[in-house]
Amino acid sequence: MTEANEDSAVLQLQDILIGAESVDIFLDGLAGFSAATLTGLAGVGIECAVTLKRHRHTATVAGSSPRAVELDHIEQRVGDGPCIRALLTMAPELLNDVNTDDRWPEYQKRLAGHGVYSTLGVPLDIGEGASAALNFFAPAPGIFTPELFDRAVEFGELASRTLHLSVRLGAAQTRAQNLEAAMQSRTAIDVACGVIMAQNRCSQKEAMDILAKVSSNRNQKLRDVAGELLSRLSASGVETHFE
C-alpha cells in the first residue's frame, strides 16, 4: 500500500469513526469500507464481517451486508474456521479454495452452498481485553492472491489502530455515563437527607442513618429508598441537570 493510499485509508476510517454515534455503527462502517476496499483491488465482489473475541467467546458484531453477517454466523455455528483460527493465533488465516482445502470440511461445504469459495481472516488487536478480526468472503477460489493478501493485512493494521481508538472512546463514554448515573443517585440521596433533616430537625448524619436503616429493613438500595421518598413529595421526582 503506497503512502498516499495509506493516508487516504486512514482519513476515511477516521471519518467513519467521527460520524459514528456508537461503536456498533462504527463497526458496520468499518466492515463496509473494508469490503469496498478489497472489492476495488480484486475486481470482484468481496464481502466482510467483523468478529469480536472477548473472554474466549467469539461473536459476529458487524457486516458489510446482511449476507456477510449470515456468512460469518456459519463459522460461529460450526465453531471453527479461518476467522476463529486467526483470532486464536493472531495471524492472518487464508482458505484459498473450499473444494481442495481439508481443514474445515463442514464449514467449507456450507460456504460453497452459499456461493463462497475462498475466505481470509485478518486479526485486529484492539486492546481492552478483546480482539477482533475482519472476515473476508470471495465468490471464487484463488481470489486472495499474495498481493491482495498483503494489502488486506496492511489494511487490517490500519483498521486495528482506528478500532482501538473506537473501543477506548466507547469505554470512556461508558465511564462518563456511569459517573453521571452515580451523581444522579448521590443527588437523590442528598436531597432525601435534607427532607428528613427538615422534617425531624436532625443532623445530616442522623438523617443518613435513618435512610440506611430503612434501606436495610426493606432490603432496598439506598438510592431507591431516597427516590421513593422524593417521589411522594414530587410527581416529577428530582433530577440532576448537566449543562
Name the H helices within 46-143.
66-78, 82-89, 105-113
Nearest to 49 by CA among 137, 109, 150, 171: 137
User: Which one is predicted more confidently, 79 or 231?
Assistant: 79
Cβ neighbours for 85, distance < 8 A, ≥ 6 positions apart: 93, 121
Q: How far apart are CA 144 and CA 44, in angstroms?
A: 11
User: Which one is predicted more confidently, 88 or 10?
Assistant: 88
pTM as predicted: 0.63
The widest CA-to-CA distance across the chain, in whole angstroms, is: 84
The answer to whether the beta carbons of residues 78 and 106 sit under 8 Å apart is yes
Fold agreement between 3-174 and 184-233: no
Fill in the DSSP letter of residue 91. Answer: S
- pLDDT of 26 reads 73
The answer to whether the beta carbons of residues 174 and 20 sit under 8 Å apart is no
Name the H helices within 135-203.
146-200
Tell me the average pLDDT across 166-177: 50
Does the pLDDT of residue 99 top 90, yes or no?
A: yes
Place of cell 436503616: 213
- pLDDT of 172 reads 43
Tell me the average pLDDT across 155-167: 70
Q: How far apart are CA 11 and CA 33, in angstroms?
A: 12
Strand order in the sheet with 47-54: 57-63, 47-54, 130-138, 118-127, 93-95
Please write the tens of the pLDDT for every residue from 8-67.
544 454 444 444 456 677 778 888 888 998 999 999 999 999 998 877 788 898 899 999
Report the chain's terminal Cα–Cα distance, integer Å.
45
Where are the domains positioned within the chain?
3-174, 184-233
Of the pLDDT bands very low, low, confident and very high (cuts 50, 70, 90), residue 160 is confident
Report which listed range, 12-26, 109-123, 146-160, is most confident: 109-123
Please write the tens of the pLDDT for every residue from 178-222.
445 555 556 677 778 888 888 888 888 888 888 888 888 888 887
Q: Are strands 130-138 and 47-54 parallel, antiparallel or unpaired?
A: antiparallel
Phi, psi of 55 (to 5 degrees): 55, 45
Q: 184-233 architecture in CATH? A: Orthogonal Bundle (1.10)
Q: 3-174 architecture in CATH? A: 2-Layer Sandwich (3.30)
Quote the cell numbers at residue 126: 484492539
